[in-house]
């Protein structure tokens, strides 16, 4: 049987910044309080009417001395104008708006607000890191890398920026650079604030670079730190499989599925391993489950089509290969489906 190549599924892990050198959330400036005019001074209490000294007769009807007039009430001071918000306060407000837009997946608008925050406060570390996260979501990895680099220039001990730049390097297939950044982030994350994710990210970079033993070691560390981390089992399963330890790979894919029952890639990778061992029914069951969870994952149809071919279910196989061509964005899978169709006379 023709050996099926191993799929490397690159899952981008973006660290949402919640801590480090600055506050967990951007500085929030309280709304300026309008200055209140001082209360008018109380009216002076009039003096008691002085005792009138009797005037000797015969002067009639003496006029008593008047009480002293009270001091006039001082005019109240006009209210002071509200202070103009500082650039840093406006920058923080723009940051808050950007984060809200990011959560709503309004990426272009989020970029505009993060850029506004940076314009008002060019040293705003969190804004560079956050805008880089948006660029990652938009698959603009070079721009993301530039923003993370700027964040690192502002604070060379800011661990999340190294991790996030490592993700950008991973997406750009720059494995060595990714490993360097993940390693630096691990060194700086002394309190394990980020923790297992860093080892998982580096494990993936090692896996793609071909350092399978190092990848396994990082997966082991991640599992030690976070025992239910499905991705650590998944990547370790890939490493074992490539090393030829298929049964260990299947065991890890099973653990990944136990940790995350909707882990589509784990079902498909386990299906490939079952298929390679000639266990077609188990492979077909995993493909069906993967398609049930995510009908848009094209590789499930590609493998199921091959299983149908082996079972002489040509009509079903043709339907699956056509489905791959319809939904896949990976040209390799499309070419493989076309090749299968050609062999079936289509």
Q: Which range is least confidently modeled, 31-45, 104-118, 161-175, 217-231? A: 31-45
Indicate whether 289 belongs to any domain.
Answer: yes
CATH code for position 332: 1.25.40.10
What pTM value is reported for the model?
A: 0.73
Indicate whether 284 belongs to any domain.
Answer: yes
- What SS3 string covers 220-261? HHHHHHCCCCHHHHHHHHHHHHHCCCHHHHHHHHHHHHHHCC
Q: Who wins on pLDDT, 28 or 225?
A: 225
The confidence score (pLDDT) of residue 194 equals 85
Helix/strand/coil percent split, the chain, to 5: 60, 0, 40
Indicate whether 309 belongs to any domain.
Answer: yes
State the total domains in the chain. Answer: 1
Indicate whether 301 belongs to any domain.
Answer: yes
Q: Which domain holds residue 286?
A: 264-346
The confidence score (pLDDT) of residue 8 equals 33
Indicate whether 45 belongs to any domain.
Answer: no
Q: Which of 276, 269, 272 is nearest to 255 (CA)?
A: 269
Indicate whether 165 belongs to any domain.
Answer: no
For residue 40, pLDDT beyond 50: no
Indicate whether 294 belongs to any domain.
Answer: yes
For residue 343, pLDDT beyond 80: yes
Residue with the two structure tokens 């959330």: 25
The confidence score (pLDDT) of residue 84 equals 74
d(CA 212, CA 204): 10
Indicate whether 229 belongs to any domain.
Answer: no
The confidence score (pLDDT) of residue 107 equals 96
d(CA 232, CA 228): 9
The confidence score (pLDDT) of residue 192 equals 77
The confidence score (pLDDT) of residue 74 equals 53
Give one DSSP letter per residue of 181-198, joined into a string: HHHHHHHH-TT-SSTHHH
């Amino acid at each position: 049987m023709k050996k099926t190549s191993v799929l490397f599924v690159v899952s981008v892990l973006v660290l949402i910044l919640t801590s480090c050198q600055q506050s967990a959330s951007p500085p929030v400036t309280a709304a300026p309080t309008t200055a209140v005019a001082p209360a008018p001074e109380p009216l002076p209490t009039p003096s008691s009417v002085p005792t009138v000294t009797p005037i000797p007769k015969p002067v009639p009807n003496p006029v008593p001395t008047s009480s002293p007039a009270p001091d006039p009430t001082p005019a109240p001071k006009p209210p002071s104008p509200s202070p103009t918000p500082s650039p840093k306060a406006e920058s923080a407000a723009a940051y808050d708006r950007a984060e809200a837009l990011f959560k709503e997946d309004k990426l272009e608008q989020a970029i505009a607000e993060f850029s506004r925050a940076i314009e008002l406060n060019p040293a705003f570390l969190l804004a560079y890191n956050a805008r880089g996260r948006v660029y990652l979501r938009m698959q603009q990895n070079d721009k993301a890398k530039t923003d993370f680099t700027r964040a690192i220039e502002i604070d060379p001990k800011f661990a999340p920026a190294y991790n996030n730049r490592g993700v950008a390097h991973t997406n750009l297939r720059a494995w060595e650079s990714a490993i360097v950044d993940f390693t630096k982030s691990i060194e700086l994350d002394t309190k394990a604030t980020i923790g297992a994710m860093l080892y998982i990210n580096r494990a993936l970079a090692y896996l793609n670079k071909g350092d399978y033993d190092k990848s396994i070691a990082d997966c082991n560390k991640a599992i030690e730190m976070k025992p239910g981390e499905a991705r650590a089992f998944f990547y370790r399963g890939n490493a074992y499989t490539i090393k030829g330890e298929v049964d260990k790979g299947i065991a890890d894919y099973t653990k990944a599925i136990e940790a995350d029952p909707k882990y589509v890639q784990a079902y498909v990778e386990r299906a490939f391993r079952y298929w390679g061992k000639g266990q077609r029914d188990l492979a077909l069951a995993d493909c069906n489950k993967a398609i049930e969870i995510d009908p848009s994952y094209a590789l499930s149809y590609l493998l199921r089509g091959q299983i149908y071919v082996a079972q002489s279910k040509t009509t079903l196989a043709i339907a699956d290969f056509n489905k791959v061509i319809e939904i896949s964005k990976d040209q390799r899978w499309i070419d493989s489906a076309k090749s299968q169709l050609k062999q079936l006379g289509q």
